[in-house]
Structure 1
């Protein structure tokens, strides 16, 4: 079987998705992925440290782009909405067709190892947001709480967006998820007022 290097990363991603769906994540090896993509195993490991990372190949660049976008946001006086606007306003369609993103999400949800890796990536994103807010002068504890809450809220919104094939919009799905949060934490406004009274602001 001929081997070629051009477009190897994309072919490896496609091959991995196909094999994970056909025979399961556990039963698929890096060698099989490389064979399906018509590249050598050495080429596979030049792009990815392990088979799990194939599904998270864009995570580092995505996290960096989102963090930079938050740093450039004009107003972070209300850090939770600022992060959610950053997330909802990103061009998620640029990561690929919704069908591919939905298939990827289903694969991750089906395997404990992939779920664990996904949580690590999510925490890295939250840490990036926290650091960005701190650089903008937000209280460190407020920054940490806002960053972790926002990533969880958006996780739900993103899933709804995928399940609905883009309807509702990400912005609408994010608003819905925030409304759910308000029903769980009804004292949020009161706590915020108490912080203001104590002189603890987000600016």
Structure 2
């Protein structure tokens, strides 16, 4: 096995997804993933704490969300900070990853423990966004509401993006669409 092979993490991710799809998440072992990637189990654990982390990249998105909120222009209204966060996430985190996102979502759907982990991840992301908004001086109730909205919009937009029959439609289109629906249904004159 190659000791310092290039793109070890990427090869491990590819091998893991292939095995999760073929054998199921629960039936796949870390040694099998490492072997398929042509690496050692030790190398796997240098990149991932466990096999679930291949699917969830724990902590990466929550830290990213806080950084984007912190760096957002100071003159944005709270709802515009949410839109800014969502558009930056689309640009930085999802570009060129549609097929991977589709595969990961399908794997998660097959396993109850993975679905529970996904729910916990959503909760953690929402709390991170909430903390970022509070740090910008937005009150705690508004921050929590906006944080939950941000996470819900992102998940709905990703669902629509993955289901879209138009292959070239960008995820940002669905983010804008769902934010516009939110604005329409919360108008006072409705």
What is the CA distance between 1:75 and its match in structure 2?
Answer: 4.7
Q: Which residue of 1 aligns with 2:178?
A: 177
> Is 1:84 matched with 2:75?
no
Q: Secondary structure at the match of 1:89?
A: helix
Q: Paired residue for 1:161?
A: 161
Q: SS where residue 5 of structure 1 aligns?
A: coil
Gaps in structure 2 of 5+ consecutive residues: none
1:135 Cα deviation after fit: 1.0
**1: CA distance, partners of 2:26 / 2:46:** 21
- The TM-score normalised by the length of structure 1 is 0.78
Is 1:61 the counterpart of 2:73? The answer is no
Assess if the C-alpha contact under 8 Å between 2:86 and 2:175 holds in 1. no
Number of aligned pairs?
185
Q: Does 1:138 align with 2:138?
A: yes
How large is the RMSD of aligned CA atoms in angstroms? 2.4
Matches within 5 A, 1:23-172: 23-57=23-57, 59-75=58-74, 78-90=77-89, 91-92=91-92, 96-164=96-164, 167-172=168-173
Tell me the distance in 1 between the aligned counterparts of 2:94 and 2:154. 17
The alpha-carbon deviation at position 64 of structure 1 amounts to 1.9
1:124 Cα shift? 1.8
Distance 1:166 1:87 in 2: 21
Contact 2:34–2:40 (8 Å) recurs in 1: yes
- 149-158 vs 105-114, which deviates more? 105-114
- Say which is worse superposed, 130-139 or 71-80, in terms of deviation: 71-80
TM-score of the two chains, using structure 2 as the length reference: 0.83
The structure 1 segments of at least 4 consecutive aligned residues displaced by more than 4 Å after TM superposition are 92-96, 179-183
Equivalent pair of 2:130/2:143 in contact (CA under 8 Å): yes
Pick closer, same or farther for the CA change 1:72–1:166 going to 2, 3 Å: farther
